[in-house]
Amino acid sequence: MKVSILLSFFALSLMSLAGADPGPLKYPETRKSDASDDYHGTRVADPYRWLEDDNSLETGSWVRAQNEVTFGYLKTLPQRSKIIDRLSSLWNYDRTGMPSEYGGRWFYTRNTGLQNQSVLFTTTSLDKEPQVLLDPNLLSTDGTVALTDYAPSLDGKYLAYATSTGGSDWNEVRVRDIANGRDLSDHLRWVKFSNLSWLKDGGGFFYSRYAEPESGAALTEKNEFHQLYFHRLGTPQSEDKLIYERKDEPEWGFQGFVNEEGNYLIIQVWKGTEPNNRVFYKDLSQPDSTVVELLNEEDAKYQFVDSVGPVFLFRTDLEAPRHRVIAIDITNPEREHWQEIVPESKDLLDGVSTAGGLLFCQYLQDAKSAVRCFDFKGKLIRDIVLPGIGSAYGFSGWRDDKESFFAFTGFTEPGAIYRLDLTTGETKIWRKSKVKFEGNDYETEQVFFSSKDGTLVPMFIVHKRGIVLDGSHPLLLYGYGGFEISLTPDFSMQRAVWLEMGGVYAMPNLRGGGEYGADWHNAGIKLKKQNVFDDFIAAAEWLISKGYTSSSKLAIQGASNGGLLVGACMTQRPDLYAAALPSVGVMDMLRFHRFTIGWGWKSDFGSSENADEFEALFAYSPLHNLKPGTHYPATLVTTADHDDRVVPAHSFKFAARLQECQAVHGPPVLIRIETSAGHGAGTALNKVIEESADELAFLAQALRL
């Protein structure tokens, strides 16, 4: 009989190390001011508003004082060092990114194990040993400069690449000569929310940017008046050609894509996080052609897929909440002439890509991947056989390609990249991750539970095979629930260690997400946002009622909008959980729109500028619903000083108020503020490992593993 993981050496070691609580904490004093605002006749105090100034010496002193207490506490936890060792061991494996081909040359990223940033390689054949083209680890001494995007020219001669420093959304773009590995003089700054797309002749590329912010305001200033530019190779940025802007629409954003044939620039026009968008285009075969506003009603979501001559293919939710594929002939663009290529189905059409002249429609069946292949006229060619229950992505390439690639991963499967024969549909492994984790020791199940209003909500649960449902298991409940983002099975090193520690992991697909299309998303936004919190609370109650865990063993976790989720649920039901991990969360729902790209979230949250939406926001805003003397769960708030997506002031103010309100003799409520890091993407691996270990050690202590 196989010994349970609860009795494994690792888990036994952690249990033996779990000791008494390090003792009562003395939190730093946080000054309170008399700042307040009047919202439609309601006066709301904001005593910690001074923490919004990230440049002030007082804020800097507060950050240092909080970190001193937090790291002082974390270093006393006996489990921490062992968890760091285990995370480092698991992460020390060779992993490769998806390959792509340009001009007879292949490009892909690779990390040998514990490199802070993955390295970009190139080769003329996937059967040959690749050469290093760009190593971001050499761009800084601490690994905090990340490669955020790269685009080879179609002839494979040049590489346009973007980097960010310290986790900021701001990018700098340079160009590298692939033959000699040297950078050219090209250097673009103040690039944000942009892609890079080359002209077919390799003479230059399109990108998007904002104006240079005022000195000292780069990480907080509101981002408005996006612009689409063309950069001619070998010229200074000051000579770049402005392709499109809208001075009458400060919230519009632009991304330009050159189609495979090279004769059209497709301009995706977005407004914050609103799901509906516009699509314009520019004829690149005609000098000085004007931008044509093809889809300008913002009545649906339109994702450009591909083009055949003047016929553009789009994935859209127009009259199809779960999406379909349509064709628009731009020489005859009136709606009565649009054609449906792939109709809406019962499953969500989550994405569409092309390779070898075929359409690959990637569906979600109750948040699990399924892929179907069609020709450009909508005839079903075949279903793609996937390795199991999980998430698949990729399936892209050029029109004359004979093969494509896709990646597949799951909760207990680190993942592999597969080669797909476009003629036969046969697949074979190209690269497979070899992680020292026994995934077969665990199982994934999917259940459905009823929310407060009776809505059935799906949830994945991952745990050791054969566990007894007696309520004794520590359980980590993770959620998001917003912005039409779908949570699907994927592999996480932190989760793997949590499972090895005897933990159970649960992930519900909350309303507000995109798992079932527009209707599911719309059921969890603005005045209906409370549905998301109700779903999460119902998930916790269901897990307790079924014996997976108990309140004293239950922890909740979420990041960004998921951080808001955790903040709202721990203030609404502080009795339900023993620990909470809100990361880079939106905690001040009355002022989020005043910073960087925060205004773009109004489509999901609403705005305190509107009276009815103010009432809803004020009712659940985590910062404003903390009550003095309440026994809140042990809480570790995490944020970063370079987060210019959800500015750290959200977490600063929430943590200060939480420390003020926590009941006497209540468990620790701490804030961990990372330096030279941002919203998450591109964070150096050593920082990821340390933060993951701190969170797990904190949970081990709080849940008495």
Q: How confident is the model at residue 641 (pLDDT cuts 50, 70, 90)?
A: confident
In this predicted structure, what is the pLDDT of residue 14?
37
**Cα gap 478→187, rounded to integer Å:** 41
Q: Residue 432: name the closest of 403, 405, 464, 463 by CA.
A: 405
For the segment 347-351, the average pLDDT, to the nearest whole number, is 97
124-169 confidence digits (pLDDT tens):
999 999 999 999 999 998 888 999 999 999 999 999 999 999 888 9
Give the helix/strand (H/E) hosting 188.
strand 182-191
410-429 confidence digits (pLDDT tens):
999 998 999 999 999 999 99
CB 182 within 8 A of CB 133: no
Q: Residue 289: name the closest of 244, 255, 327 by CA.
A: 244
In this predicted structure, what is the pLDDT of residue 24?
72
Tokens of 262: 């090279």
Phi/psi of residue 618, nearest 5 degrees = -65, -30
479-509 confidence digits (pLDDT tens):
999 999 999 999 999 999 999 999 999 999 9
For the segment 10-25, the average pLDDT, to the nearest whole number, is 46
For the segment 242-266, the average pLDDT, to the nearest whole number, is 97
CB 318 within 8 A of CB 349: no
pLDDT of 330 higher than 60: yes
Tokens of 536: 């999460």
283-318 confidence digits (pLDDT tens):
999 988 999 999 999 999 999 999 999 999 999 999
Put simply, whether the predicted model's pTM sits higher than 0.75 gets the answer yes
């698991």: which residue's tokens? 90
For 412-487, strand residue ranges (E) read: 416-421, 427-432, 442-450, 456-464, 475-478
Average pLDDT, the chain: 94
**Cα gap 594→596, rounded to integer Å:** 7
Write down the domain spans for the chain. Answer: 5-19+28-89+443-702, 94-258, 345-432
* Count of CB atoms situated within 10 Å of the CB of 31: 11
Q: What is the percentage of the chain residues whose pLDDT exceeds 70?
A: 95
CB 350 within 8 A of CB 337: no
Return the minimum-mean-pLDDT range out of 551-555, 564-568, 595-599.
595-599
In this predicted structure, what is the pLDDT of residue 22?
52
Tokens of 347: 């499953």
Give Cα separations from 171 to 188, 214, 275, 332 (angstroms): 8, 16, 24, 39
In this predicted structure, what is the pLDDT of residue 6?
31
In this predicted structure, what is the pLDDT of residue 167?
80
Q: Annotated catalytic sites, by residue? A: 560, 679
602-613 confidence digits (pLDDT tens):
999 999 999 999
388-407 confidence digits (pLDDT tens):
889 999 999 999 999 999 99
pLDDT of 651 higher than 80: yes
């009823």: which residue's tokens? 450
For the segment 625-633, the average pLDDT, to the nearest whole number, is 98
In this predicted structure, what is the pLDDT of residue 220?
83
**Cα gap 639→671, rounded to integer Å:** 8
pLDDT of 43 higher than 80: yes
Per CATH, the architecture of 94-258 is what?
7 Propeller (2.130)
In this predicted structure, what is the pLDDT of residue 388?
87
The class (CATH top level) of 5-19+28-89+443-702 is alpha beta
Collect all residues with Cβ–Cβ distance below 8 Å to 171 and sequence separation of at least 6.
Answer: 148, 149, 162, 163, 164, 191, 192, 194
